[in-house]
Chains A and B, each alone.
Chain A
């Protein structure tokens, strides 16, 4: 599979390393080349310095025919915009955005992108561990709607709403 990862932070680099080791075609983007220090020496994928919210940059990086797109920068809004670009303009089928604000994470799942919220995931795990019961928050919130709402208008690219994304690779 061709997997594009925007943001070579802790999560991004761990996934890049794992998917690369599994033999997938991995492309990592980050605005800082220093972030690529997190990638192992034997990483065979592509690391590109560039802005993942810029359509030209994404296309040049080869995201046009990616199967999976993960927006994992430190900025919620950057992830949201990158994920929407990937879904709407590039037509990528499986897109996940990391959104640490729970309100936005829920809101954007309703607007059609799979979102993952570190805040609720950690709160849930802690609560479960100390025996106060899990909060019942899902790991990745699968998209339930689309940004079109009830309005009928065609997507820019042949847009495919991502299916429920599992947590495993």
Chain B
């Protein structure tokens, strides 16, 4: 496999090193001459000291026969251009871009980048896993903020588990309208039974939160009375 790595920062450097160790052919493009020399000293003469955004230099680095181009510079716009040039100009079958701003992910995908790696998104995901999920999550405020859309993640201690939706008493003006189960959102019907792991989406006035908490999360509240 011939992999062209564009960007000789930490990511590019270790990527090239690992790929070489597993027997792949690698070329690294790094426009900063000093950095390029440093990489060449450490892992061999596989470095092209030119800007990988320029079509001419991509060609010189062998882009036309690359199986994969990995754009791992620190700038999203550079990574996008590298992948687009590789794809449209050199017919590279697989392009991979590092993306810093998670908001750019769908633009990049839409513009034809095959694989998008977002370190920001990954770290965000890891942090969110540590946030207690048994609380109610505020998804959005509607109107002047008097109504809220709230998600409740049902855990094993929840009083709502095993009960039909229609049997759960809801505070005035508050309703449960959808459930996300195994990643699929379904409108809630009164005869549906709630299960552990369900994410129930509710809408209601913000002062209903305590009651919603009792019904869907349970725990500290004395009002597990609904049982």
Contacts and interface: CB of A to CB of B under 8 A. Distances in A.
Interface of A: 53-56, 75-78, 80-81, 84-85, 88-89, 101, 103-104, 107, 110-111, 147, 149, 153, 155-156
Contacts of B89: 107
Interface in B140-183: none
Interface of B: 53-56, 75-78, 80-81, 84-85, 88-89, 101, 103-104, 106-107, 110-112
Contacts, number: 63
Contact of A104 (B85, B106, B107, B110): B85
Given A107-B85, A111-B88, A149-B88, A88 B76 contact: no
9 contacts: A53-B77, A77-B78, A80-B81, A89-B107, A104-B53, A107-B89, A111-B88, A153-B110, A156-B107
A80 B78 CA distance: 9
B75 A54 contact: no
A147 B84 contact: yes
Contacts of A107: 55, 84-85, 88-89
A37 B129 CA distance: 47
B107 A88 contact: yes
B38 to A, nearest CB: 24
A78 B53 CA distance: 12
A104 B88 contact: no
A100 B78 CA distance: 15
Given A78-B77, A80-B77, A156-B106, A147 B55 contact: no
Contact of A103 (B56, B78, B106, B107): B56
